[in-house]
Chains A and B, each alone.
Chain A
Amino acid sequence: MSGLARVVRSGVRRRRVPSLVIGLAVLMAVTASVLGGSLLVASSAPFDRAFARQHGAHLVGQFDAAKATEPQVAATAHAKGVTAEAGPFPTVSVTPTTPRTAGPGLTPMTLAGRADPAGPVDAVSLTAGRWVRSPDELVLSAAGPELAVGTDLEFPDLPGDPTLTVVGIARSVSQSADGWVEPEAITTPSGYQMLYQFASAATDAQVTAHRAALTASVPADALAGAQSWLAVKRAADQNTGVFVPFLAAFGVLGLAMSVLIVGNVVAGTVGASTRRIGILKALGCTPAQVIRAYVAQALVPAGVGTVLGVLAGNALTMPVLAQTDSLYGTPASGVAPWVDIAVVAGMLGVVAGTGWLAAWRAGRLRTVDALRVGPVSTGGRGRLAGRVAAALPAPPSVGLGLAHPLARPARALGLLAAVAFGTVTVTFALGLAASLNDIQAAKNHDNADVLVNTLTSPYGPHRVDRVDGPRPAATATPAQIAAAIAAQPGTRAYYATAQTAVTAAGVSGAIDLYAFTGDATWAGYQMVAGTWFHGSGEAVAVSTFLSATSTRIGDTVTLFEQGRPVRVKIVGEVFDPHTDPEVLVDAATVPDLAPDTYHIELRSDTDVGGYITQLDGTLRQYGVMVASNQAVHSGTLLALATLTGLLTLALVLVAGLGVLNTVVLDTRDRVHDIGVYKALGMTPRQTTGMVLASVPLPGLLGGLLGVPAGYGLHAAVTPAMGHAAGLNLPAQALDTYGPAELAALVVAGLVIAALGALIPAGWAARTRTATALRTE
């Protein structure tokens, strides 16, 4: 081992706390960077690969067969900007059943007539079975219901009530249809589908412009709907995209903290090792060797932190990416190696650069000065601190501590910065946690205490625990159930919902429609924009619906419920993070739907169990089910909350260790003075008080700086997370801080500072006076 290596090794061993702080800060920053970077780079990779392989459609156009002929639709291929097209394919909206199910058993679906899965646009890839060869065969979308090849489906909506056999499962990255049949199988199409690629379709504005050109090229209202590839891509990226802004915030915080900690530790180490540096130079170390020695002392723990951070980042990234890959049947993306390499190189570069700057003074220090140095002199600043301490109306030990930051302003700034970053993190994390709670509450948007379910929904009961055995089919009328609920003591309010699946022109897959009877203002729905519906023909929709249908508040859309058109005007956007599109309407809009679920709010003094027992006794005869309402927790929100907790804990730990390290260095610098104080009669308690009193001022200032910064970070990151998930968040989820919370968070800065100073204060109190007096 070279002499320099020995110096480095002994330095790392001697300074365990600073080394631990560097390692932890770097570990945190690297973990968040690898995780965030990998998700950012790889989240869209499976979609992009599938889109390229299948020549995905930039726009799926759905034309109304009643308003445009097939040749007119085909002529849209000549619209400006179209570089490739496929179609027209006849389409029809149907609701199949299987011979084994009584009544509606499957969701509505859009079938497209295609003789060939290949083509210049949207080359559908088979994942099982084969393509259709006759009109009584069907290929299902892999994104649809999980039915095996060979299953027979009945189509009562089609002429002749045909039964089609599933002969294949296929995947369309453009999500152009829920199933494909021979064109001849659709004898009376409700629409025609055209699939387009454009020369430029990278932005919403470009796609919208192409859509406008298509609209203009056909008769009025003929283009019933269109699905942009960007909407599909955004939906595909949602699972991973939501993590990126949040991880970027933690990554930046971790990086800033690393720079601060490394700079502080190396500069502090150099300051505290002046005599050692003098000895090294006297023995023949060149300035460059001295700098290298001190940079290497930072790089050793940083290297360990980097390796562990890369491992942790990769371990956390893999499961998230694997989930996305499985959606497209693409090979596992894994973490892009260049992300790991870039993060490792970047972090070690930052550490080396920061360390080099901080160690520069060690290289320049004159040997004779370094060897001559005694107790650390603080010059005029120290005298100012002394004057202030003497003038303060406080016990001398407290006064000396309070005034101390004036003597060592650079170190106090380092401490302030560590506290500020810690406070930023705590403020941001608590705000984010509150937002996630609000989002979870808004997601459940069901403040009901008790649910009554008639079991007539095609999807079965919604959020109800089925705790007992089978019951007779529901026989009660809505009026009977409502009367029983209203008559039940303890009922404060109730409303009813009916859920069904509908389709919309231009959008593949089912759309959930909820029809409301009664006042649901207490249910917990939060509006992002617009107003709640008032009466028949009005609807509120979730973001995903507006995005999928390219509609806005004020637009009117046509939905198909059991093949019947239902025209609704969108009057508001309601918050709901479910990825499936949803529309909420008044029951009068779809009068044939009977409520399937009754949502009951109880009076505050009502026993839920007793209420359920009594109501169940009344309604059991009708075959309906009464149960307590249980919230469903989102896996993504849970993952975010867990990650937030872990990263916050790590960052607060690093901030606390940063304070600890600063106070340790400072206490070591002052150990001789502390010895003098103790020799003159300063008790251990007074010594502890003096060291602790040196941190409130920077702690308070750090808190005062950190809280607004954390507030701003939350205000920037939380909506970005929502947008990444394709959601506009309600104001309530963004406005999470009250004055009391903000004041308490400023105090959190003081707490971080005090906790970080406790150990060195105890160390100073325990230091033997005789030993301290000998230390120079």
Chain B
Amino acid sequence: MIELDAVSRRYDGGPPALQDVTLSVPRGQALAIVGPSGSGKSTLLNLLAGLDRPSAGTVTVDGVRVHELGEAASAKYRRATIGLVFQFFNLLDDLTVADNVVLPAWLAGVAKAAAQRRAAELLDTLGIARHARAYPGRLSGGERQRVAVARALMNRPALLLADEPTGALDSASGEDVRELLTGLRAEGQTIVLVTHDLRLADAVATRTVELLDGRVVADGTTPTGAAAIGVAP
């Protein structure tokens, strides 16, 4: 599903944000990427999403050579293949919850009625159907992140990328999101999760990779990946 081969990323002559990273993720795997600030976690996620390009190496996702995509092609790649969940939700405050969720389908040219049916299903599944006509600003943090997950799943992505999805949430809301992602993993959704939260990584991921200064320093593939790489939960 994901193949990173000797990937490096350097910004403006500074120290490398990522250095010679080689990684393979099979379909259906939930991978957690952990590490301290500045270790290269978000850079790796951006490369997978086609939001950034590597300085060296290749990035292949679901057969697409992402590192070769131009701006328009990478946008289409994200529509077709990627679902993105951000730490600060990145919902559009001016659109209703339902419109936020349906937006990726609209951008992909899906018929409006079909897109709205799919959005309604997702909101129902994620337990936020009652907020469909509300605006994101009126929801709790956990509810907003559920909306963001619904939006990410709208186009049935092959790969769900989540960047610190509980980082802006209180513990109760964080627990909600944790359960949601665990459920998705159980359904066979391929997930790459970037987080500081080792409990989240342990609960959701079947494999954990630790980055330090842009390099992979540990890679555990047990359900309790955090324990496997010797990091205290």
Contacts and interface: CB of A to CB of B under 8 A. Distances in A.
Interface residues of A, number: 34
Interface stretch (B25-33, B54-62, B73-81): B73-81
Contacts of A679: 49, 51, 78, 84, 86, 90
Interface of A: 375, 377-378, 382-383, 385-387, 389-390, 395-397, 407, 672-673, 675-686, 765-766, 768-770, 773
Interface string B79-97: 1100010100011111110
Given A679-B86, A682-B107, A685-B72, 17 more contacts: A385-B94, A386-B94, A389-B95, A396-B107, A679-B84, A679-B90, A680-B103, A680-B104, A681-B79, A681-B80, A681-B155, A683-B72, A686-B75, A686-B107, A765-B71, A768-B51, A770-B46
A176 to B, nearest CB: 78
A672 B93 CA distance: 12
B75 A682 contact: yes
The size bracket of the interface on B is 20 to 34
B213 interface: no
A684 B69 CA distance: 13
Contacts of B72: 683-685
A753 to B, nearest CB: 22
Nearest to A672: B90
Contacts of A681: 75-76, 78-80, 104, 107-108, 155
B151 interface: yes
A426 B94 CA distance: 37
29 contacts: A375-B93, A385-B94, A386-B94, A386-B99, A387-B96, A395-B109, A396-B106, A407-B94, A675-B90, A678-B75, A679-B49, A679-B86, A680-B103, A680-B107, A681-B78, A681-B79, A681-B80, A681-B107, A681-B155, A683-B71, A683-B72, A684-B71, A684-B75, A685-B72, A766-B71, A770-B46, A770-B52, A773-B51, A773-B86
Nearest to B98: A390
User: When A and B form their complex, which 6 residue pairs have the shortest distance between CB atoms, in order from nearest?
Assistant: A681-B79, A382-B94, A396-B106, A386-B94, A683-B75, A386-B95
A349 B5 CA distance: 64
A513 B142 CA distance: 95
A382 B78 contact: no
A568 to B, nearest CB: 77
Contact of A676 (B52, B90, B99, B135): B90
B52 A768 contact: yes
A773 B71 CA distance: 15
A683 B106 CA distance: 12
A389 B103 CA distance: 11
A680 B52 contact: no
B5 to A, nearest CB: 21
A382 B104 contact: no
B104 A770 contact: no
Given A386-B99, A679-B78, A681-B108, A377 B90 contact: no
Contact of A677 (B96, B99, B107, B108): B107
Nearest to A384: B94
B103 A396 contact: yes
Most central of B52, B86, B107, B155 by chain A CB within 10 Å: B107
